[in-house]
């Protein structure tokens, strides 16, 4: 239907009124442009127009789908292609005359023969037969999983991939997508992946495409037929292979004639083209340029003096390589390492070479007389054949230099760059560093290689710093691969260190003293990214702007986004006591507003030197009474709007800090607020499933928009104010048109598989971006409403997104602690910044009380000796991004269960370290788990609103309860195993009986005004305690549901409660960083424990009741004497840079040094 309307609009038969504010069309979405008042005459005229305008391919369908040409790499220029008419006709026959058409077409031949140009010309002529044409350059090959995800997401937005999906699952989904669509995939130069160990799974992909039933076609180019496809070569109906030969003599002459006028005889021309160049167009062009510069266009002179003992490509290139100076080699190596076009300034910055009187620019001029360089818009690159050749040279030479310690290449060039996009750095590591390591391990063995690399670094310390260049950085990068990211105890002192990404390397007890750092990347300490906002371009620094992010640690980070799109941390500062739910920069980047879990609104002024001053706070009488979920500036920065969980919205004067209006009307918490571009209207979304439009001037509600089936967590106006978009928990985005003050839902965008947390319009009005609980970011066309791209790879919810001011990039923040910068143009993640945190989310004692089990934000489960405070065992998750929510210990002490946001429950056998997973029955994250007293049953509560009982021995689901109306956040068994209590986001507690294989809901406890984070039975089973984000702890009578007592004192959410074994005391841990121990009978506060510095997420008593353990976001576990309140021990795992010496370092700014100190480094003793 949508495509039909689109064609009618293109033919000017239909007018779309949905974006217009013209009088008289307020209730008309479309207008037909008719020719006559007579229906018969109109139908006749319409048929004439249809016949006249339709394309030949429309006989069998109402609309021809728009061609989408998506490229992952630089598509070669084919404006001029020589010859190949016969080959083109032959290949077109395989598409148009084969029945069924070929599934795989392979074009093979030596490098430079013209395979890529031929395919691009073919695609130009046949692309109308396909709904999608996707080009992949394997010069920079994606990993197999990345290829499957990115290609699938472009073809279809209805199938999403989860990061934890196995390869075979993703491959099956990929083939299903090919079966539903008519796509043409072009994989160019797949030589790079043949027999490479990191790319072995491509063999399964190629075989699946060749053997499965689908409607698509794959074209590959390579020098030889991949072994995986040889078995398909005999199947002429589905596979066709073309061995591409050289050009004929006349075509070769045409190439030479287009370059210049050369002097020679007919026989000399024939000999050159067919005997020397083998009809290879690249060789012909390269030798032509050589004859131009060296032999003054005289072919006879070249044939007399030139080296004609050339039998293969390597011989030609080797002869060129031998002629290069050290500077020219450094330049050509840099072009090969970067693999993408490089500017002169980048070459000058990256090449470290002793001056010999020549500049880089002079080196380029002399190099271009020997090797064909491609120049475009002040950028340089070389032919893919040369990139491949010189990459192999780099691997060989670097291996030899490590062995001999005679450094030249490793001094002048960094083999991997921190200054390039992230995806390119990964490719450099795979295609350059890994092969070098493989070669060296073959020569040295692993242990000896480590010693060899350390010896190389020791030798460097006796050399002047200026002569070391990039050697130290290259060796550290090789060590990092060899040691799998664990560089513990190394001495890297007194060294210049270039181009090393330290962000994911554990550096305990490393000595960096007096080292100099150049272009190095270090980790950030940010927690889960909850909010993100950017300013407009800085007038004084064209193409630069500010980005602000707020995290789960109460911190705000200010980033400068540079001209190349890279983020650079400028400042970080504590802003709120806990989660920073929302940040907003005004357009000039001079004001920053933030709202937090603490219910406080702050406005910060930002000076030109990025000094921060908090200059406006609301008066206590005007403040919100619950967490602030949204803040937004008006376009003129005069007003600030705030939305809160107290169901209200407030509009503030930025100048005076006065609350101008309190907007009431929503029935549930407010999730998002946004001003219209003209500042006259305010839109808000709420958990009550509605959107409200308010007058900023009067504070009155003008409209209430309904239609969503779940909460509305984000709203956004288009830049022209004619559209409003809303994202909801019902997995949809609704687009509302605004015509003469009336709002109409004109479209609903579907594709996300879970809740939508964030949406944004691009400043140019062309796109909508959406972030979801399904771990994907989607890009939609405003015009066609189609999903253009699905960006995956996230490990958790996308909590916030924004566009760059020029609409070229999307910036996203995720609960997985990452900030990512995406290029809309090339579908790539250009930069990913990962935060690091070891905050402890859950603790539990073993039944004998000798061991404490913890689950933490660094994705590990640790077993601690209570007596010594030492870690005695570590159980680690496979994925870096898995956030652990709770750990539970079986009553027999043999099993540990863990929950996380990936919807899966895991069981760990303490004795064997083996991990088992339950079937993924829950549809959303699993918040809470508990073992039954006999260790045979496990209960779980999930974000899918369900409670499930599991057989521990068998690992399958026994029973599902579905009476809660929202997330189930807490579950627990009574000590006799007959009852289960569950606490939910719906503010209720439910009691379930599971006695004698009969399960039933007994009663519902009501009284909390917020989410219920923890429920626990007393040891005698007569009482139930609960904690909530309403800041209270409540104790209930189990038998009748009566509220016995309500304990107040916490200043924020209460995450956890625990009864002492005798039932007399109740401990609670809160977001206010305190632990409170209450006397259950009297309701009096027994102890107030305040040594944690951040939120206390979990508390539990030891089996004998003498010790209370608390786990905190400050990355510590504390053991308390419950009688005296004394902290007996503080347990902390080694931080990322624990005991790392950074005394006297150079090249690091204040923010980086401060981050390293937070992670355990020290400046001096």
Q: What whole-number distance in Å separates Cα of residue 331 and Cα of residue 387?
A: 12
Alpha-carbon separation of residue 356 from 360, 775, 941 (angstroms): 11, 53, 70
Looking up residue 345, the CATH number of its domain turns out to be: 1.10.10.10
Looking at the 3D structure of the chain, how many domains does it have? 7
Residue 344, domain extent: 317-403
Alpha-carbon separation of residue 906 from 109, 866, 921, 1012 (angstroms): 51, 24, 13, 24
DSSP 901-917: TTS--EEEETTT--EEE
Q: In this structure, are 127 and 145 located in the same domain? A: yes
Q: In this structure, are 161 and 281 located in the same domain? A: no
DSSP 967-1011: -EEEEEE-TTSSEEEEEETTSEEEEEE-GGG--EEEEEEE--SS-
Q: In this structure, are 7 and 46 located in the same domain? A: yes
Q: In sequence order, what are the residues at sequence separation of 6 or more whose Cβ sits closer than 8 angstroms to the Cβ of residue 118? A: 81, 84, 87, 88, 91, 107, 244
Angle of helix 446-460 relative to helix 384-404, nearest 10 degrees, comes to: 80
Domain edge (last residue) among 349, 368, 403: 403
With H, G, I as helix, E, B as strand and everything else as coil, classify residue 1055. Answer: strand
Q: In this structure, are 436 and 306 located in the same domain? A: no
Q: In this structure, are 157 and 275 located in the same domain? A: no
1005 within domain boundaries: yes
805 within domain boundaries: no
Q: In this structure, are 550 and 606 located in the same domain? A: yes
With H, G, I as helix, E, B as strand and everything else as coil, classify residue 743. Answer: strand
Q: In sequence order, what are the residues at sequence separation of 6 or more whose Cβ sits closer than 8 angstroms to the Cβ of residue 416? A: 337, 425, 428, 429, 432, 433, 477, 499, 501
1115 within domain boundaries: no
Domain edge (last residue) among 379, 403, 427: 403
Domain edge (last residue) among 403, 436, 467: 403
| b (16+ CB within 10 A) / e for 1105-1144 | bebbbbbbbbbbbbbbebeebebeeebbbebbbbbbbbee
Q: In this structure, are 519 and 539 located in the same domain? A: no
Are residues 505 and 522 in contact, defined by beta-carbon separation less than 8 angstroms?
no
Q: In this structure, are 224 and 203 located in the same domain? A: yes
With H, G, I as helix, E, B as strand and everything else as coil, classify residue 429. Answer: helix
Q: Please choose, from the candidates 237, 247, 201, the residue with its C-alpha nearest in 3D space to the C-alpha of residue 105.
A: 237
- Residue range 357-403, pLDDT digits in tens: 688 888 898 888 778 788 877 889 988 878 888 999 999 999 999 99
230 within domain boundaries: yes
399 within domain boundaries: yes
Predicted pLDDT at 296: 82
- 760, β-bridge pairs: 769
1103 within domain boundaries: no
Are residues 756 and 771 in contact, defined by beta-carbon separation less than 8 angstroms?
yes
Other CB atoms within 10 A of residue 503 CB: 17
Predicted pLDDT at 919: 76
Tokens at residue 634, please? Answer: 């008006």
With H, G, I as helix, E, B as strand and everything else as coil, classify residue 125. Answer: helix
Q: What whole-number distance in Å separates Cα of residue 736 and Cα of residue 113?
A: 54
Q: Using CA of residue 696, residue 702, residue 704, residue 705, what is the dihedral sign?
A: negative
Q: pTM of the prediction?
A: 0.80
Looking up residue 962, the CATH number of its domain turns out to be: 2.130.10.10
With H, G, I as helix, E, B as strand and everything else as coil, classify residue 546. Answer: strand
Q: Please choose, from the candidates 223, 218, 269, 267, the residue with its C-alpha nearest in 3D space to the C-alpha of residue 95.
A: 218
Predicted pLDDT at 793: 81
Indicate the pairing of strand 567-574 with strand 988-993. Answer: unpaired
- Residue range 668-686, pLDDT digits in tens: 999 999 999 999 999 999 9
1128 within domain boundaries: no
Q: In this structure, are 465 and 558 located in the same domain? A: no
Question: How much helix, strand and coil, in percent to the nearest 5, is found in the chain?
Answer: 25, 35, 40
334 within domain boundaries: yes
Q: In this structure, are 849 and 970 located in the same domain? A: yes
Q: In this structure, are 379 and 267 located in the same domain? A: no
Tokens at residue 40, please? Answer: 């018969």
HSE-CB for 620 with a 13 A CA cutoff: 0
Q: What whole-number distance in Å separates Cα of residue 547 and Cα of residue 386?
A: 39
Tokens at residue 1004, please? Answer: 């519902």
Are residues 526 and 817 in contact, defined by beta-carbon separation less than 8 angstroms?
yes
Other CB atoms within 10 A of residue 408 CB: 16
Long-range contacts, 1043-1047 (Cβ 8 Å, 24+): 1043/1005, 1043/1007, 1045/1080, 1045/1083, 1046/1007, 1047/1076, 1047/1078, 1047/1083, 1047/1085
HSE-CB for 296 with a 13 A CA cutoff: 1
Looking up tokens 């789908």 gives 65
Are residues 854 and 1111 in contact, defined by beta-carbon separation less than 8 angstroms?
yes
Angle at 143 between CA 196 and CA 165, to 5 degrees: 125
Instruction: Give the pLDDT means over successive 10-residue stretches in the chain (1165 positions).
Output: 50 51 42 59 59 40 41 63 85 76 85 86 85 85 84 74 72 87 88 73 86 87 79 69 87 84 83 81 80 80 60 66 89 93 92 80 85 83 85 95 95 94 90 94 89 94 90 97 92 96 91 95 91 84 86 92 85 90 93 92 86 72 88 96 95 92 95 96 97 96 96 95 96 93 92 93 96 92 91 86 94 92 89 87 94 86 94 72 74 89 84 83 88 94 92 90 93 94 96 84 93 96 95 95 94 94 96 94 93 94 96 94 94 91 94 92 81
Q: In this structure, are 537 and 575 located in the same domain? A: yes
């Amino acid at each position: 239907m949508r495509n039909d309307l689109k064609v009618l609009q293109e033919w000017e038969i239909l007018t779309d009124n949905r974006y217009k504010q013209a009088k008289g069309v307020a209730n008309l979405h479309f207008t037909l442009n008719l020719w006559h008042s007579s229906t018969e005459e109109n139908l006749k005229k319409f048929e004439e127009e249809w016949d006249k305008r339709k394309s030949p391919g429309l006989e069998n369908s109402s609309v021809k789908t728009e061609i989408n040409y998506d490229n992952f790499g630089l598509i070669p220029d084919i404006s001029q292609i020589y010859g190949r008419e016969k080959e083109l006709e032959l290949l077109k026959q395989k598409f148009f005359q084969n029945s069924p058409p070929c599934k795989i077409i392979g074009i093979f031949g030596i490098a430079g023969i013209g395979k890529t140009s031929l395919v691009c010309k073919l695609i130009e002529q046949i692309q109308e037969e396909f709904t999608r044409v996707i080009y992949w350059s394997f010069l920079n090959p994606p990993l197999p999983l990345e290829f499957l995800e990115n290609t699938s997401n472009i073809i279809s937005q209805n199938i999403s991939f989860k990061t934890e999906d196995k390869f075979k699952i993703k491959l099956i989904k990929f083939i299903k997508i090919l079966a539903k669509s008519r796509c043409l995939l072009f994989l160019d130069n797949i030589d790079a992946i043949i027999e490479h160990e990191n790319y072995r799974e491509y063999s399964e992909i190629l075989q699946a495409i060749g053997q499965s039933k689908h409607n698509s076609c794959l074209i590959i180019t390579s020098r030889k037929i991949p072994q995986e496809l040889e078995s398909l070569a005999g199947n002429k109906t589905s596979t066709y292979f073309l061995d591409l030969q050289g050009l004929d003599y006349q075509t070769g002459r045409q190439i030479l004639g287009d370059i210049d006028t050369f002097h020679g005889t007919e026989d000399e021309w024939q000999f050159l083209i067919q005997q020397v160049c083998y009809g290879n167009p690249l060789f012909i062009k390269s030798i032509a340029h050589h004859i131009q510069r060296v032999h003054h266009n005289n072919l006879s002179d070249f044939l007399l003096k030139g080296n004609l003992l050339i039998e293969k490509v390597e011989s030609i290139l080797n002869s060129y390589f031998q002629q290069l100076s050290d500077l020219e080699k450094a330049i050509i190596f840099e072009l090969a390492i970067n693999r993408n076009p490089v500017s002169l300034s980048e070459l000058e910055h990256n090449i470290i070479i002793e001056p010999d009187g020549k500049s880089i620019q002079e080196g380029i001029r002399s190099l271009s007389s020997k090797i064909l360089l491609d120049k475009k818009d002040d950028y340089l690159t070389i032919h893919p054949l040369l990139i491949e050749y010189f990459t192999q040279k780099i691997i060989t030479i670097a291996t030899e230099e490590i062995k001999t310690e005679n450094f030249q290449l490793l001094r002048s060039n960094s083999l991997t760059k921190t200054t390039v996009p992230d995806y390119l750095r990964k490719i450099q590591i795979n295609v350059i560093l890994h092969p070098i390591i493989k070669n060296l391990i073959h020569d040295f063995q692993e242990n000896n290689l480590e010693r060899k690399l350390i010896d190389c670094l020791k030798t460097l310390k006796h050399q002047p710093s200026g002569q070391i260049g990039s050697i130290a950085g290259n060796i550290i990068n090789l060590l990092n691969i060899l040691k799998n990211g664990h560089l513990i105890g190394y001495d890297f002192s007194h060294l210049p260190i270039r181009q090393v990404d330290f962000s994911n390397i554990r550096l305990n007890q490393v000595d960096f003293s007096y080292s100099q750092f150049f272009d190095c990347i270090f980790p950030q300490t940010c927690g889960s990214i909850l909010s993100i906002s950017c300013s407009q371009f800085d007038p004084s620094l064209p193409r630069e702007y500010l980005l602000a992010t707020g995290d789960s640690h109460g911190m705000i980070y200010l980033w400068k986004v540079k001209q190349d799109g890279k983020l650079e941390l400028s400042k970080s500062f504590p802003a709120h006591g806990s989660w920073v739910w929302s940040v907003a920069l005004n357009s000039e980047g001079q004001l920053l507003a933030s709202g937090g879990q603490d219910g406080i609104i702050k406005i910060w002024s930002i000076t030109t030197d990025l000094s921060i001053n908090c200059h406006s706070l609301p008066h206590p009488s005007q403040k919100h009474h619950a967490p602030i979920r949204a803040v937004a500036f008006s376009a003129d920065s005069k007003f600030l709007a705030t939305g809160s969980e107290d169901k209200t919205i407030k509009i503030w004067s930025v100048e005076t800090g006065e609350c101008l209006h309190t907007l009431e009307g929503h029935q549930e918490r407010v999730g998002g607020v946004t001003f219209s571009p003209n500042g006259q209207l305010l839109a808000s979304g709420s958990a009550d499933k509605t959107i409200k439009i308010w007058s900023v001037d009067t504070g009155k509600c003008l409209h209430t928009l309904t239609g969503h089936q779940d909460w509305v967590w984000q709203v956004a106006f288009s830049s022209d104010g004619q559209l409003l978009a809303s994202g909801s928990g019902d997995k949809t985005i609704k687009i509302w048109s605004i015509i003469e003050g009336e709002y109409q839902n004109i479209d609903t965008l579907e594709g996300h598989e879970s809740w939508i947390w964030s949406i944004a319009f691009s400043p140019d009005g062309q796109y909508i971006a959406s972030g979801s609980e399904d771990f994907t970011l989607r890009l939609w066309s405003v015009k066609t409403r189609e999903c253009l791209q699905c960006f995956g790879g996230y490990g958790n919810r996308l909590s916030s997104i924004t566009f760059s001011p020029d609409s070229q990039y999307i910036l996203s923040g995720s609960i997985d602690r990452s900030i990512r910068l995406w290029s809309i143009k090339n579908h790539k993640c250009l930069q990913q910044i990962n935060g690091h945190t070891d905050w402890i989310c859950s603790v539990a004692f073993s039944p004998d009380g000798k061991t404490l089990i913890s689950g933490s934000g660094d994705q590990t489960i640790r077993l601690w000796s209570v007596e010594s405070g030492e870690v005695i065992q570590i159980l680690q998750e496979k994925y870096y991004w898995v956030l652990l929510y709770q750990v539970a210990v079986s009553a027999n002490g043999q099993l540990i269960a863990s929950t996380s946001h990936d919807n899966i429950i895991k069981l760990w056998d303490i004795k064997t370290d083996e991990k088992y997973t339950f079937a993924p029955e829950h549809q959303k994250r699993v918040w809470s788990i508990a073992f039954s007293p006999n260790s045979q049953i496990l209960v779980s509560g999930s974000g899918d609103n369900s409670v499930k009982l599991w057989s521990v021995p068998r690992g399958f689901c026994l029973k599902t309860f579905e009476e809660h109306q929202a997330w189930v956040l807490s579950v627990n068994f009574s000590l006799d195993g007959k009852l289960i209590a569950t606490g939910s986001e719906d503010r209720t507690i439910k009691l379930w009986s599971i006695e004698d294989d009969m399960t039933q809901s007994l009663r519902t406890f009501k009284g909390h005004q917020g989410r219920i984070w923890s429920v626990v039975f007393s040891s005698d089973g007569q009482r139930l305690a609960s904690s909530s984000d309403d800041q209270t702890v409540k104790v209930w009578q189990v038998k009748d549901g009566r509220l016995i007592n309500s304990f107040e004192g916490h200043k924020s959410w209460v995450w956890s409660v625990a009864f002492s074994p005798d039932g007399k005391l109740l401990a609670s841990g809160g977001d206010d960083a305190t632990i409170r121990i209450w006397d259950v009978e009297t309701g009096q506060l027994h102890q107030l424990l305040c040594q944690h510095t951040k939120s206390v997420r979990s508390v539990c008593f030891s089996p004998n009741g003498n010790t209370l353990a608390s786990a905190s976001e400050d990355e510590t576990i504390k053991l308390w004497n419950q009688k005296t309140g004394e902290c007996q021990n503080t347990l902390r795992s080694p931080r990322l840079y624990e005991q790392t010496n950074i005394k006297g370092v150079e090249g690091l700014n204040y923010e980086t040094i401060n981050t390293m100190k937070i992670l355990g480094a020290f400046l001096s003793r």
